[in-house]
Amino acid sequence: MRIGACQGRGRYKDSRTTEVSWRDGGVVVLEILATVLAGIGIGLSLGAPPGPVNAIIASQTVTRSWRAGFLVGVGATTADTIFLAIAFLARTAVAGIGPYVPFIALLGAGVMVYFAWGAVRSWRRAQEILESKPDEHAKSYMTGLSVNITSPYPILWWLTAGLVLINQLGPAVLVGFFAGLLLWITVFPLALREAQRRIARTYQAVLAFSIVCLLAFAAWLVWSALTAWV
C-alpha cells in the first residue's frame, strides 16, 4: 500500500511538473511574439515616413512596375542589414556597455523624436511623393542600396536606438523589424500601383501610425534610461 501511494504521488508530481513546464513555455512564446510584434511596429514606423527611398519606390512603381519599386526597397533593406551588422559588432566590441545604455537610450529617443518631427512636417506633403518624377537609375536594387547606405540617418538609428533595442529586447525584435520593413516595401508599391490617385489619404493614415509609433518608442527609451538610473 505504501509503495502504491508513493507511486501515485510520483505520478502526481510529474504531472504538475509537466503542467508548469507547459505554462512556462507558453509564457516564453507569448514574450517572443510580443517582441516580434514590437519589431514589426518599429520596422513599419521607420519605413513609412516620406524620404528619398520612399520617393524612389514611388517613382519606380508608377513609371515602371511593382517589381521595380519593390527592388528599391530590397536594396534599402540590404543597407539596413549592413548597419545591423555594424551595430552588432559595436555591441559585442564594447565590453562595458551597461553603464552607457541610459545615455545611448536618450540619444536614441532623440533620434526617434527627430524622425517623428520630420513625419509631422511631411503631413501636408503626402501627395508630393505620388508625383515624383521618374529616376534614370539602371538598377532599382542598387538605387535603393546606394541611397540608404549613403544616408546618415539609418546608421545613426542603428548605433543609438537600434543598439538599445537589441540589448533590451533580444534578437527576436530583429525578426519583427525586418518583417515590418518587408511588409512596407511590398504593400506600399502595390498600393501605389492599384490606386495612384486615391492613395494620399491612406498614406496619411500610415504616416499617422508612424508618428505614434516613433513617439511611443521614444518614450519607452526615455523610460528605460530613467529606470536604469533609479
- pLDDT (tens digit per residue) in 19-38: 545 555 566 677 778 778 87
pLDDT at position 191: 80
pLDDT at position 201: 67
Cα separations in angstroms, 45 against 48, 146, 192: 6, 21, 18
pLDDT at position 82: 87
Q: Which of 74, 73, 77, 80 is nearest to 58 (CA)?
A: 73
pTM: 0.61
Q: Is the pLDDT of residue 137 over 50?
A: no
Q: Where are the alpha helices (DSSP H) in 122-159?
A: 126-130, 140-149, 152-157
The percentage of the chain sitting over the pLDDT mark of 90, rounded to a whole number, equals 0
Q: What cell does 198 get? A: 486615391
Orientation angle between helical segments 2-47 and 199-229, nearest 10 degrees? 120
pLDDT at position 196: 58
Domain boundaries, the chain: 21-229
pLDDT at position 166: 74
Q: For 85-156, list the strands marked E by DSSP.
A: none
